[in-house]
Each structure stands twice: as C-alpha cells, then as structure tokens.
Chains A and B, each alone.
Chain A
Amino acid sequence: QQKVQQSPESLIVPEGGMASLNCTSSDRNVDYFWWYRQHSGKSPKMLMSIFSNGEKEEGRFTVHLNKASLHTSLHIRDSQPSDSALYLCAAVNTGNYKYVFGAGTRLKVIA
C-alpha cells in the first residue's frame, strides 16, 4: 500500500528563519506532489504543487522535487508567525487519479 512519509512531525523555527519540510512517497508511479497548509481551525488549502524535477519558487516558498527518489521538500524562508500551521504533502498518480496524503508536519514559528 502506498505510503507518504513526512518529516519532521513537528518543527519550531524562529521568526525570520528557514523552515524545511520533507516528504517521500513509496509509489514509483507518482507523477506529482501537492503541498497543503492548514491553519488552526481552518480547512487545508493548496499551497503549491510540483510536477517536474527541480525547483519551484513562489514568494518565500520554494518546493524541490527529485522524481528519482520520489522526494519533495518545502522550504519557507523568512518564516513568519503566520506560517505556523500543519503542512500536508500529497503524492498524486495521474494514471489512476489516486492521491495519498502524509500525516503532516506541524510548524510553529516563534517571535
């Protein structure tokens, strides 16, 4: 059964610091990854998606993907307290339209 492992389970970074979150899939048929963010009391919302090997940057957020190792990482530079949230990674298989979420990384940015 396909699994998506996220690490670390929780992370504390100082305001202005860099937060790095990891995600690996065990399914070799995965085509792309989603990163979602869920603030406390809110529903998860799509943050970024990545299809191609390499890097994708949007503002303070950068996502890396290594398709060979089925590993993606999310990096948040200049972290702000408002970035404190649960970050969920999902591995998506376009062949069968299936997707699997990991258990999440809980990020806390302290001022």
Chain B
Amino acid sequence: GALVYQYPRRTICKSGTSMRMECQAVGFQATSVAWYRQSPQKTFELIALSTVNSAIKYEQNFTQEKFPISHPNLSFSSMTVLNAYLEDRGLYLCGARTINTEVFFGKGTRLTVV
C-alpha cells in the first residue's frame, strides 16, 4: 500500500536556528507533495505545493526564503524552517499523491521552538 513517512517525528530547536524535515513516499510515485502546518491557532494551513516538473507554489504568508522545499525525485521531499521562532511551532504534515489518487499523509514532524 501507499505510505508516507516523515522524520523526525519530533524536534526542538532554539529560537533563531533552523531545522530540516523530510518526507518519504513508499509504494507510489509522489508526483505532488504538499506541506501543511497545524498549530493551536490555525487548524490546517497549506504552506506550499510541489509538483514534479513545475515550480513550487507557496501560499500567502509563506515564502521560499523562510520555508525552502526540495522535491528532487518521486519519492522524497524535504522542507527547512529557517530562523524558527515561537510562531513557527506546530505539527508539519506532508501530503503526497500521484495523479488520480487521494492524498496520503505522513504522521508529521512536531516542531517546538525554545
């Protein structure tokens, strides 16, 4: 079956530092990968959508300068949170799909900023 793994599951970083999270699709080709954030203030926010052979599209309030994403092949994507501050804390979810399938989600990376 189709599975999406995310790691690390939890991470703590100091305010102002950066951390990288990864997303691995297993059992299918992830032609499209979306990164979401869930925080206490907002239930479910799309950060950006990456589709193979297309430019990565960031949502309003999220930028490549702050959340650079790499989607080098059909099974892997990574996102970095640069200069993390308190407002960046939350659960970061990766959702991957291939054409005509549903989105499969990983269990998320929970970011705590201290």
Contacts and interface: CB of A to CB of B under 8 A. Distances in A.
Contacts of B4: 43
Contacts of B100: 94, 97
B45 to A, nearest CB: 8
Contact of A103 (B42, B99, B107, B108): B42
A86 B43 CA distance: 8
A46 B102 contact: yes
A49 B107 CA distance: 21
B103 A43 contact: no
The size class of the interface chain B forms with chain A is 20 to 34
A43 B106 contact: yes
- Is chain A's interface secondary structure helix, strand, loop, or mixed overall? strand
B13 interface: no
A34 B97 CA distance: 13
A30 interface: no
A102 B51 CA distance: 20
Which 7 A/B pairs are nearest by Cβ-Cβ distance?
A43-B105, A104-B43, A43-B107, A46-B102, A104-B44, A44-B105, A103-B43
